[in-house]
Amino acid sequence: MDSENNRKDIKKPSAIYYGWFIVATSFFISFLTVGTRNGFGVFVIPMSKDFGWDRGTISLPASIGFYVAGICQPFAGRLYDRFGARKMMLLGLLGISISTLSLSFTPNILFIIIMFGVVGAMASSGGSLNIAIALTSKWFRKKRSTAIGLIAAGPPMGAMLLIPLSQQLIHFFGWEITWIVLGLLILLLAVPLTYLIIREPPVDLGLMEDGQDATKTTLAPYTQDISLAQNDWKQALKSPLLWQLSGAYFVCGFTTGIISTHFVPYAIEKGYSPSLAATVFGVMSGLNVLGVLTAGKLGDRFQRKNLLAVIYGLRGLGYACLLILPGLLGLWGFAILAGFSWIATVPPTTALTADVYGLKNIGILSGVIFMLHQFGGGLSIQMAGELRDITGSYDVPFLISAILLVIASFVSFSIQERKYSSRYLIDPDPILQKG
């Protein structure tokens, strides 16, 4: 009788499940915010020339930004678990827009460290891709990886369009005006859209996950006992699987932080024009869209840990191309392989975290994993800048990245997904059982 009464309280789905509006809005938010912050690399040379900074100095704001965002992410995740996504995202987006606008008035390195590396990074933890994905995990179950993949396509799409746009704006109007344009895009577009569209989990609207019809669906509930799903999030920190995911994600951040900050300067120093360097970066970002969408789709059909192993391996081959292949061949080889694998780790990593540990503490656990990602990025950005100043090239940090990616591939493959994932414990779908 209780189950029949509960079904009466759940609305039948409309023609378009509201969760897809959440996905579309989250995609656009990440398109603007992450695309803007990942485009810091195109500002490196023009700002360095104006202020006389060396590569290690200009690397500081980006490096510190990774660390600050990483430290803040578990706290933001905990606040999300308690208070929801909408307020967190609105505050975060306001902070990102204001800090971005302020960069047009940069007088010295300390100012850009504070506004980009501290204020902007703190704000990005609230209006982050991680918060949007944690919210989306509660709207979708069977199509979770696909939905996350669509959101995660926002940053590379933003890089593909916003970075070449920023490069052109810098060329014609200067870096000061470019920061103003980017800040206004976030303030006038992302903030209102978040206020109008973002809502909390589907049960609050009387809906079911994936838009399922309550009178027909037979999905098993998440209340079933799963060995690693605990009410106390601290218990999850004692499980090796969380640290396997976190360790691999640290390498993900390490090897993408270098790309976002140093790829364009690296290409320019190799003798290519700033326009060509930004174009190659844009194509790489475009391929990233295909990669993350493919990873999202495949993550709903096969074991997510195997998918992660392949993705890290592909990125390692990309770095090998930069070290071994000559000229444009190496540059484009890296762009293709890194493009398909850059953001592709996001859907399987986040979906696997939700599958294994449940949804009650998804915000803080995803925050812990993402914190390690950011620490890796912060370390690699500064390390690459310093090593470039010492050795005169990026060969050493690229070699370190390739080696770490091989290790991350093996670590991911060793995850015991079938033993702990809810997909294999309670999901009757025969396709998943084959994965």
List C-alpha distances in Å: 336 to 62, 73, 171, 242, 286: 24, 30, 26, 30, 10
- Confidence (pLDDT) at 232: 63
The residue among 365, 367, 364 whose CA lies nearest residue 356 is 365
Q: Which of 163, 182, 64, 40 is nearest to 119 (CA)?
A: 64
Report whether CATH 1.20.1250.20 matches the domain 13-214+224-434. yes
Mean pLDDT of 397-425: 88
Please report which confidence band the pLDDT of residue 248 belongs to, taking 50, 70 and 90 as the band edges: very high
* CA gap 321, 309 in Å, rounded: 19
CA 93 to chain centre: 16
Which pLDDT score, from 0 to 100, does residue 265 have?
A: 84
Task: Note the Cα 346 to chain centre separation in Å.
Answer: 6
What confidence score (pLDDT) does residue 210 get?
A: 64
Overall average pLDDT of the 330-347 stretch: 88
The CA distance from 153 to 327, in Å, is 29
The per-residue pLDDT for range 191-221, each reduced to its tens digit, is 999 999 888 777 766 777 666 654 444 444 4
Taking only the tens place, the pLDDT of each residue in 136-152 is 877 887 788 788 888 88
Q: What is the pLDDT of residue 426?
A: 52
- Report the pLDDT averaged over residues 217-240: 57
Nearest Cα to Cα of residue 269 among 391, 356, 165, 147:
391
Any idea which of 13-17, 246-250, 373-377 has the lowest mean pLDDT?
A: 13-17
End-to-end CA distance of the chain: 37
Supply the pLDDT for residue 6.
Answer: 44
Reading the block at residue 409, the tokens are: 């591939």
C-alpha distances (whole Å) from 121 to each of 114, 284, 307, 345 are 9, 24, 30, 21
Show Cβ contacts of residue 192 under 8 Å, excluding neighbours closer than 6 positions.
Answer: none
Distance CA 261, CA 265 (A): 8
Is pLDDT at 225 greater than 50 in this prediction?
A: no
Asked whether the predicted pLDDT for residue 255 surpasses 80, the reply is yes
Q: What is residue 377's predicted lDDT score, i.e. its pLDDT?
A: 83
Instruction: List the structure tokens of 294.
Output: 């493919």
Q: What is the mean pLDDT of residues 315-319?
A: 94
Q: What is the pLDDT of residues 384-410, one digit of tens each?
A: 888 888 888 888 999 999 999 999 999
pLDDT per position as a tens digit, 72-91: 878 887 787 777 788 888 98
Residue 255, token pair as written in the block: 């090897």
What pLDDT shows up at residue 294? 87
C-beta neighbour count of 328 within 10 angstroms: 14
247-256 burial code (b ≥16 CB/10 A, e <16): bbbbbbbbbb
Q: How confident is the model at residue 231 (pLDDT cuts 50, 70, 90)?
A: low
Query: Is it the case that residue 284 has pLDDT exceeding 80?
Result: yes
Please tell me the predicted confidence (pLDDT) of residue 105.
92
Asked if the model's pLDDT at residue 108 lies above 50, the reply is yes
Cα separation, 93 vs 427, whole angstroms: 37
Q: What's the pLDDT score for residue 339?
A: 87
Domain ranges of the chain: 13-214+224-434
Q: What is the 3-state secondary structure (H, E, C) of the chain?
A: CHHHHHHHCCCCCCCCCCHHHHHHHHHHHHHHHHHHHHCCHHHHHHHHHHHCCCHHHHHHHHHHHHHHHHHHHHHHHHHHHHHCHHHHHHHHHHHHHHHHHHHHHCCCHHHHHHHHHHHHHHHHHHCCHHHHHHHHHHHCCCCHHHHHHHHHCHHHHHHHHHHHHHHHHHHHHCHHHHHHHHHHHHHHHHHHHHHHHCCCCHHHHCCCHHHCCCCCCCCCCCCCCCCCCCCCHHHHCCCHHHHHHHHHHHHHHHHHHHHHHHHHHHHHHCCCCHHHHHHHHHHHHHHHHHHHHHHHHHHCCCCHHHHHHHHHHHHHHHHHHHHHCCHHHHHHHHHHHHHHHCCCCHHHHHHHHHHHHCCCCHHHHHHHHHHHHHHHHHHHHHHHHHHHHHHCCCHHHHHHHHHHHHHHHHHHHCCCHHHHCHHHHHCCCHHHHHC
User: What pLDDT digit, counting tens, does each position of 1-45 carry?
Assistant: 444 444 444 445 557 788 888 899 989 998 888 878 877 878 888
Residue written as token pair 């009464």: 5
User: C-alpha distances in angstroms, 402 versus 177, 322, 338?
Assistant: 37, 10, 11
Residue 164: name the closest of 28, 279, 30 by CA.
279
